């Protein structure tokens, strides 16, 4: 496969599904390095997810799985708190603000670790992990941390983000030696690189502002319709420069794409498995502001599930996946290790399989119950629920070493 066509392939949802499907097939033959697949637990896993869906959404009116749900952590409707500030913004400006809020929040949403907690002054409540990072980033954005305009806090400017210090970010996240946050330096570096990406791509980020991406999306809508695949491709290419160098193809940093030795053949790139978890998470999160503007989003079910610890943890906690060596659950693992790559690939493949079974159980078709809703009402929620049932701190069954840039 030629370099450019290989790059395009590895940046497509179809490649994610195909490569992850190859890992599942190896698992079904019992030949993976670290995991065994136990289909005898498929029905009980589906039953657990369905019961979680019906418990949380008995009417099956489920929102999309996106960062917006986390802004309601603790059942506090934080977006309503700032409606008065938004009342003078026109539809375009509102869209820019919402894009800036959710993009900055998603980019700060790497694993926080088990010890960090954010204490929200308004509610006097503590929040940890992803919800804590969402609450923290909400207040950071509306406090003007990313704005270069002292008279307008509701902005994220390339220059301000590029110049943001680790100390200021730590202050916003309440990180300290007594409240340690994993990967603080990595997060700060990511925001700085985000600022540089905004400044170096004025055709995408109008006005050297992160929210300029909203204008770009609106300009590329056709008859008030836009494809989720276009959103995903734009996200991948617009933010490619911010990721640390891992696997490169020529001058292209492939981002969340990792090798696995069992897929290696004579063909170039055969061993690489793309996940693009963050880019898809961000793409899902950009859908709602675009819909609120009046656009119709097409092809949303062509995006895949998300290779993260709530979905993957669910399959381990339900025993659908089991470690060949249980002692590995007591160790910490790098993102590029074969164990983590296997776990994430199996997660993606099993999400599609599980989604099919859930739709059958609830007598719903794919249009009525797309994967993005199954993630929100089902697998992600069920993964968090069973983790809390099995472990006091609700932690995942496998520990991933986070540098603040691994999603």
Under the phi-then-psi rule, with left for phi > 0, alpha for psi from -120 to 50, and beta for the rest, what region is 250?
Answer: left
DSSP annotation of 175: -
Per-residue pLDDT at 43? 97
Query: Considering only CA atoms, which of 14, 35, 13, 15 is closest in space to residue 24?
Result: 35
* Confidence at residue 283, expressed as pLDDT on a 0 to 100 scale: 95
Please give the distance of CA 316 from its chain centroid, rounded to a whole number.
20
**CA separation (Å) from 113 to 33, 184, 279, 399, 400?**
27, 11, 21, 9, 9
How confident is the model at residue 400, as a pLDDT?
84
pLDDT at 250: 76
Contact (Cβ atoms closer than 8 angstroms) between residue 333 and residue 402 = no
* Closest by CA position to 180, among listed 116, 114, 109: 116
Name the least confident of 55-59, 237-241, 368-372: 237-241
Q: What is the mean pLDDT of residues 198-204?
A: 94
User: Is the CB of residue 258 less than 8 Å from the CB of residue 272?
Assistant: yes
Q: CB-based burial of residue 342 (10 Å sphere; 0-12 exposed, 13-18 middle, 19+ buried)?
A: buried
Classify 20 as helix, strand or coil.
helix
**Dihedral of the alpha carbons of 388, 392, 396, 401, in degrees to the nearest 10:** 150
Alpha carbons 295 and 148: distance in angstroms, whole number: 30
> CA of 41: how far to CAs of 84, 189, 229, 230, 348, in Å?
50, 42, 33, 37, 17
Instruction: State pLDDT tens for residues 152-164.
Output: 999 999 999 999 9
Residue 253 pLDDT > 60, yes or no? yes
Phi, psi of 88 (to 5 degrees): -95, 0
Question: Hey, how many other C-beta atoms are within 10 angstroms of the C-beta on 372?
Answer: 23
The pLDDT tens digits of the residues spanning 10-19 come to 999 999 999 9
Can you give the pTM of this predicted structure? 0.91
pLDDT exceeds 80 at position 245:
no
Closest by CA position to 127, among listed 142, 178, 145, 138: 138
What pLDDT is recorded for position 81? 93
What is the three-class DSSP state of 344? helix
Query: Residue 80: CB partners within 8 Å, gap ≥ 6?
Result: none
Q: Residue 263 to residues 20, 24, 76, 259: CA-CA distances in angstroms? A: 10, 12, 46, 8
Q: Where are the beta strands (DSSP E) in 90-146?
A: 117-120, 125-128
Q: Which residue has the higher pLDDT, 4 or 189?
A: 189
Alpha-carbon gap, residue 61 to 47, rounded angstroms: 19
Please tell me the predicted confidence (pLDDT) of residue 114.
82
**Residue 398: which of 309, 296, 336, 298 has the closest Cα?**
309
CA distance linking residue 24 with residue 76, whole number of Å: 40
CB of 112 closer than 8 Å to CB of 173: no
Residue 127, phi then psi, degrees to nearest 5: -135, 140
Residue 125: CB atoms within 10 A of its CB come to 13
Quick one: which of 112, 116, 119, 211 has its CA closest to 161? 211
Distance CA 163, CA 83 (A): 29
3-state helix, strand, coil in the chain (%, to 5): 55, 10, 35
Does the pLDDT of residue 226 top 80, yes or no?
yes
Instruction: State the virtual CA torsion across 106, 111, 117, 120 in degrees, nearest 10.
Output: 10
pLDDT > 70 in the chain, percent = 97
Ranges of each domain in the chain? 1-65+250-279+296-407, 67-219
């Amino acid at each position: 496969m030629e370099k450019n066509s290989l790059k395009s392939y590895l940046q497509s949802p179809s490649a994610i599904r195909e490569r992850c499907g190859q890992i599942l097939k190896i698992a079904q033959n019992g030949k993976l390095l670290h995991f065994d697949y136990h289909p005898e637990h498929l029905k009980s896993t589906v039953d657990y997810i369905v019961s979680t869906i019906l418990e949380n959404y008995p009417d099956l009116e489920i929102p999309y799985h996106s960062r917006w749900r986390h802004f309601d952590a603790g059942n506090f409707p934080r977006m309503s708190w700032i409606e008065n500030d938004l009342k003078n913004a026109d539809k375009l400006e509102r869209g820019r603000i919402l894009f800036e809020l959710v993009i900055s929040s998603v980019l700060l949403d790497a694993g926080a670790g088990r010890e960090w907690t954010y204490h929200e002054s308004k509610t006097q409540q503590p929040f940890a992990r992803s919800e804590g990072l969402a609450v923290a980033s909400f207040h950071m954005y509306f406090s003007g941390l990313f704005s270069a305009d002292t008279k307008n806090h509701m902005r994220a400017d390339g220059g301000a983000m590029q110049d943001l210090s680790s100390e200021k970010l730590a202050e916003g996240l309440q990180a300290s030696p007594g409240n340690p946050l994993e990967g603080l330096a990595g997060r700060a570096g990511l925001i700085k690189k985000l600022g540089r990406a905004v400044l170096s791509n004025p055709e995408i980020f109008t006005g050297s502002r992160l929210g300029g991406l909203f204008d770009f999306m609106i300009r590329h809508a056709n008859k008030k319709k836009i494809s989720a695949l276009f959103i995903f491709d734009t996200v991948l290419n617009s933010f490619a420069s911010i990721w640390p160098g891992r696997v490169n193809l020529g001058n292209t940093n492939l981002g969340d794409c990792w090798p696995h030795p069992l897929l290696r053949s004579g063909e170039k790139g055969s061993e690489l498995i793309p996940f693009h978890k963050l880019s898809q998470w961000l793409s899902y999160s950009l859908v709602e502001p675009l819909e609120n503007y009046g656009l119709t989003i097409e092809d949303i079910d062509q995006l895949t599930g998300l290779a993260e610890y709530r979905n993957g943890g669910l399959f381990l906690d339900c025993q659908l996946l089991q470690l060949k060596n249980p002692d590995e659950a007591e160790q910490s693992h790098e993102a590029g290790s074969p164990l983590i790559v296997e776990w994430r690939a199996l997660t993606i493949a099993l999400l599609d399989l599980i989604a099919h079974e859930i739709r059958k159980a609830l007598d719903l078709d794919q249009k009525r119950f797309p994967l993005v809703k199954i993630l929100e009402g089902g697998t992600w929620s069920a993964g968090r629920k069973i983790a809390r049932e099995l472990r006091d701190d609700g932690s995942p069954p496998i520990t991933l070493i986070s540098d603040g840039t691994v999603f």
